[in-house]
Homo-oligomer: A and B are copies of this chain.
Amino acid sequence: MAIREKAFSIITEVFKKHGATALDTPGGELCSLRYDLTVPFARYMAMNGLTSMKRYQIAKVYRRDNPSKGRYREFYQCDFDIAGQYARMQPDSEVIKIMTELLDKLNIGEYVVKLNHRKLLDGMLEICGVPPEKFRTICSSVDKLDKQSFDQIRKEMVEEKGLTPEMADGIGEFVKKKGRPLELLSELQQKGGKFLGNEGSVQALDDLEILFKALEKAKCIDRVVFDLSLARGLDYYTGVIYEAVFKGVTQVGSIAGGGRFDNLIGMFGSKPVPAVGVSLGIERVFAIMEQNQKDQNQTIRATETQVLVGFLGEDLHLGTELVNEFWEANVKAELMLSKRVMKHIDHAKDSRIPYLVLVGEMELNKGVVKLKDIEAAKEEVIPRTQMVEEVKKRLLTVKEATL
């Protein structure tokens, strides 16, 4: 939970920086459980007749899958969507910028953002002569190219899905194209390029030109690979699609993805509202953060306690009076009552509490307390009246040192 909280706070900060509103959509009728956050968002927009919204949501979703291989029936998902009329490709470029900002700030390691356009995929299939009713099933074959070789895919397309060998080879020519966005784009736009005779494809190339120039200015284009083989499974995408793939040692594959879905909101009975979004696979992010921590032999503290008040006796009211002085000063403090000094020291060490204030009746009578710096193993006797101030001063120094 400590790792989760840290990740949540980084994520929320990025979303707020981009002017997003938090939205919580309730479970559906009859208390059914959410499968994802995109569909409830689309329904919320439609049912409330909204035409514009920039929202984020971090919430649990539920699947009926058998819990195995790091997949659970209940897990967190983290979505950001922009719905409404904007300048062409503006929301798309902002969503991709946000995705890279999230992954950079979470500091989980190297990744690339694969990017393609649905209309370019459709155009490619049209150009290769694939009949429209086979577009979706062929897309799902192409989508496997990150795990299988083209020969395997080719076999599937020809033998199982009934494409001619010529169609399959045509697709093969297209999908091997990937590279730096502006470079590959200008190659595809060159005179005589195959896409130029296809209306949808030309529109997609224009979209991508605007997008890539904006991503260049947003200083995140270096993360992006324009990849004609990226297909993404979901049917509701209508424009640009993307997927962030982790490059680190922990093999988790895709950690974020999304795209434009201009028809989904309208499917719930409202006027169509164009929208684009990204979904972050936050459980995979947690897994990577945990692994990185183990690799570095670090542990995140479960609590944030700054000082342990160790009272050497059993008088709850005397101990409470001491610890309450810290609470009133907004210092994170715990009270422990025990006559044994070592119990206090052990607890402070176990919980990695940096300071220990030790007080017994003798100290109380003298108006002093013992202040121990646990890591430095140093102890000094200070006046009780200065106890809170002294601890606060030291905490400030620690903070500055770690900044």
Contact = CB atoms under 8 A, between A and B. Distances in A.
B74 A16 contact: no
Contacts of A214: 316-317, 320
A47 interface: no
Copies, count: 2
A23 interface: yes
Given A33-B31, A97-B327, A88 B316 contact: yes
B316 A73 contact: no
A330 interface: yes
Contact of A90 (B19, B27, B324, B337): B337
User: Secondary structure at chain A's binding surface: helix, strand, loop or mixed?
Assistant: mixed
Contacts of A305: 19
**Size category, A interface:** 35 or more
Nearest to A24: B1
Contacts of A216: 317
Contact of A16 (B19, B86, B304, B314): B304
Interface of A: 1-2, 4-5, 16-24, 26-27, 31, 33, 54, 62, 72-74, 86-90, 93-94, 97, 101, 210, 213-214, 216-219, 302-305, 314, 316-321, 324, 327-328, 330-335, 337, 351
5 contacts: A16-B332, A19-B334, A87-B316, A214-B320, A217-B317
B31 A316 contact: no
Contacts of A319: 87, 90
B74 A330 contact: no
Given A328-B219, A337-B90, A26 B74 contact: yes
A303 B27 contact: no
A90 B316 contact: yes
Contacts of A27: 74
Closest 6 CB pairs of A and B: A217-B321, A87-B337, A213-B317, A19-B305, A19-B334, A1-B22
Contacts of A324: 97, 217-219
